Structure 1
Amino acid sequence: MKKNSNPAAPSGGGTDRAGLVRRDLLRAAAIAAPATVLAAPAIAQSAPQVRWRLTSSVPKVLDAIFGANELVSKYVSEASDGNFQIQNFAAGEIVPGLQALDAVQNGTVELAQTPLYYYVGKDPSFACFTTMPFGLNARMQNAWFYHGGGRELQDEVLAKYNLVGFLGGNTGTQMGGWFRKEVKTLDDFKGLKFRIGGIAGQVVAKLGVVPQQIAPSDIYPSLEKGTIDACEWVGPYDDEKLGFVKVAPYYYYPGWWDGGPTMNVVVNRAKWDALPKPYQAMFEAAVGYANADMLAKYDAFNPAALRRLVGAGAQLRPFPQSFLDAAYVATNELYAEIGAKNAGFKKIMDSLLAFRNEEYLWWQVGEYPYDGYMIRARQRG
């Protein structure tokens, strides 16, 4: 038999034919590879240039809150190779802080960072997606939104206003605020002019307090001049920056109306729908990271800030038990009153409160006993 002079050629049989096919496929892949490499830049170049503007309800000095916007801008820009850019503006640079949502709704800007409870005048349901008196803490707020039906309920409400909403951060439980004079009894709150936002203002009004809704940049001068008697803002890290301790030394806790306040992000619906799907995914991922990062910052920075405030003269005081109990009763009365007139609000609150009650079944077994023990152990040294 004549020997095959080509050692690379098959000598016959299924195995040899399979080898030939495999070599042909590899050769074809090698030829195609350069074309694939060359095609990648063309795909990148086809990504559209998107330029959005964000307006915030807070000044830039509140870096934990405003800094969340900068994180989102950084990550969407990097992920899109610079094609998706978001320019951030503080309160007052485009519109006043309390008009941020309106600016998104009417298309002045594409999106805003603003607590939805600033806009309860439009619909009391807005407050449910920021925080409610005696409502959810920060972890519960996230859990309800992502896995308890909260997001779907928010979508229903915001759709009426040409908006899409996201969780953009959380401060954790806030302080009860700064008071020019000490309050020891329920009667001491009557007639008190108190800067307090959202539904909580309606609760304290039932107790004789005169609620004031004032934008962040105007709180300090109002407190300094005596236009208001007390204010609540966030907690030690931010309150220190705004200097409240200089004009109102009594620092009360807890902020029962701000158990887990969300910093909401709202986007114009038409702009969102027009955004390419990959950019939508980039944005959601970036906002989700910013949501987690903000809470981590407050947990990390509040302890040292509280020490500094006490060193500067802040006098820590718990709210009188009589005030807390009266506020709890007034809160439940208010929810019933609003729910009787607003079926949408009742639907949302039924979901939120049922979720809260289920969560505390676990917290009273797991989280609270552990934290309570560790607090006592720390006090014992």
Structure 2
Amino acid sequence: MTLKRRSFLTGASLAAAGSTVAAPAIAQSMPEIRWRLTSSFPKSLDTIFGTAQTFAKYMAEATDNKFQVQVFAPGEIVGGLQALDAVQSGAVECAHTPVYFYIGKEPALGFGTGVPFGLNARQQHSWWHFVGGKEIINDILARYNAISFACGNSGTQMGGFFRKEINTVEDLKGLKFRIGGLGGQVLAKLGVVPQQLAPGDVYPALERGTLDAAEFVGPYDDEKLGFLKVAKYYYAPGWWEGGAMLHLVVNQQKWNELPKQYQAILSQASEAANSWMLAKYDAVNGQALRRMIGGGAELRSFTPPVMEASLKAANELYAELSAKSPDFKKAYDSMVAYRGDVLPWWQLNEYAYDTFMIRTRGRA
């Protein structure tokens, strides 16, 4: 047993399970398990698709390869937007996907990934674990025979590539924009025609002109997807995804059947993959942005009028959805209360430090 595997097994399985049994003894008693995982992301995106692979690697390392998770790309079993359905039916044991893809089932699922003008990555993770987010989302997913675990975060996303500049709210009207989750519903109030497409389908649509703009994640993935070849204006920030959390979504029966040690290892492997994804993006996005600027990308920021109109539209949407869905109201009230608590602290300390370091980066 390697030191790395022993450390992970001891820290994840033993600590989480509250056991005092030596790691080798647990490993010897573990059953052989084979699961299939369908990802919502193409293999070319080595950070997001790679997060599922990293999770599978951690599971194997922690169990002496007795728990094997085979990762499949969209289309190999089901499409990228059908991952939850495949888990619900038992076609696969688990999926790696943003749960906001499924707001058509219940709009409150948007809070599992993050909502427009919501939380950043650290705040989303905190809300999930310590402010009831996990319980709210999993209560909903239980209706679909599923349970979820935080398994990745992109950080604040970019606003996407546009064929034309967006200077006023009028410029949004009629714009065919690939955007997922509740962000599309917000922008629809401003005249945008939102399109929810799986990642692998975005470039062809943008190339053919059936899309005028597309957002995905950030520079590293956007570069790989080739959006710069067909649209040159690159906007920030992606206010609809201030810290987009992904999830490992697991079939409820398959989860219940796991030995407690395996449940503990899965939970901790998902958390480790969550940290891996955010750290990877922080390491590669800056370099990718510089490459795309060198390749002709023209950076733009959404203007204050566009941002203010979007915030107003978001608040209107949240009021409408809260009136229709008790689950949405519960999640929204929870997120807003937490955001009100955390932002003053963030302004005093985190924001002040980051702002100073950015302003003085040539001297620091």
Asked if TM exceeds 0.5, the reply is yes
- 1 CA distance for matches of 2:172 and 2:26? 64
- Please, which of 307, 328, 338 is the counterpart of residue 355 of structure 1? 338
The farther-off stretch of 100-109 and 62-71 is 62-71
Q: Which of 277, 280, 294 pairs up with 1:311?
A: 294
Alignment pair present for 1:274 and 2:234: no
Note the alpha carbon deviations across 1:1-56, whole angstroms, 9 max, x for none. Answer: xxxxxxxxxxxxxxxxxxxxxxxxxxxxxxxxxxxxxxx98875542111100000
Report the Cα distance in structure 2 between the residues aligned to 1:261 and 1:235, rounded to whole angstroms: 11
Q: Are residue 365 (structure 1) and residue 344 (structure 2) matched?
A: no
Of 313, 316, 324, the residue aligned with 1:330 is 313
What residue ranges of structure 1 are gaps of 5+ in the alignment?
Answer: 1-39
- Contact 1:186–1:320 (CA<8 Å) still a contact in 2? no
Whole-angstrom CA distance in 2 between matches of 1:43 and 1:309: 49
Q: Which residue of 2 aligns with 1:95?
A: 78
Residues 1:78 and 1:99: Cα distance change in structure 2 (over 3 Å): same
Instruction: Give 1:327 deviation, angstroms.
Output: 0.4
Partner Cα separation in structure 1 for residue 64 and residue 362 of structure 2 = 51
CA distance in 1, matches of 2:154, 2:44: 15
For 1:149 and 1:276, the matched residues in 2 are separated by 25
CA distance in 1, matches of 2:249, 2:26: 30
1:239 and 2:218 are equivalent in the alignment: no
- Residue 280 of structure 1 aligns with an amino acid whose one-letter code is Q
Counterpart Cα distance in 2 of 1:174 and 1:42: 44
Whose radius of gyration is greater, 1 or 2? 1
Quote the residue 1:48 is aligned against: 31
Q: Does the residue aligned with 2:361 lie in a helix, a strand or coil?
A: helix
Do the aligned partners of residues 379 and 212 (structure 1) sit closer, same or farther apart at CA in structure 2, a change above 3 Å counting? farther
Partner of 2:150: 167
Aligned counterpart in structure 1 of residue 199 of structure 2, from 205, 211, 216: 216
SS in 2 for 1:98: coil
Which of structure 1's runs of 4+ aligned residues deviate more than 6 A? 40-43
Q: 1:332 to 1:379 in 2, by over 3 A?
A: farther
Deviates further, 77-86 or 118-127: 77-86
Q: 1:129 aligns with which of 112, 127, 131?
A: 112
CA RMSD of aligned residues (A): 1.6
CA distance in 2: counterparts of 1:45 and 1:339, whole angstroms: 50
Contact kept in structure 2, 1:53 and 1:87, CA below 8 Å: yes
Q: Show the counterpart of 2:359.
A: 376
- Structure 2: distance between partners of 1:330 and 1:238: 28
Name structure 2 gaps, 5 residues minimum.
1-22
**May I ask how many residue pairs the two structures share in their alignment?**
343
* Residue equivalent to 1:33: none
Amino acid at match of 2:100: Y
1:203 and 2:194 aligned: no
TM-score by length of 1: 0.88
- Distance in 1 (CA, whole Å) between partners of 2:346 and 2:206 is 38
AA aligned to 2:32 is Q
Cα distance in 2 for residues equivalent to 1:337 and 1:46: 53
3-state SS of 1:178 partner: strand
- Give yes or no for contact 1:167–1:288 (8 Å, CA) kept in 2: yes
Does residue 146 (structure 1) correspond to residue 129 (structure 2)? The answer is yes
- Is 2:219 the counterpart of 1:258? no
Taking the aligned partners of 1:311 and 1:301, their CA distance within structure 2 comes to 16
C-alpha separation between the residues in 2 aligned to 1:215 and 1:180?
20
- Does structure 1 residue 59 correspond to structure 2 residue 45? no
The answer to whether the 8 Å contact 1:233/1:239 transfers is yes
Which TM-score applies when normalising by structure 2?
A: 0.92
- AA aligned to 2:302 is F
Distance change (3 Å), C-alpha of 1:151 and 1:249:
same
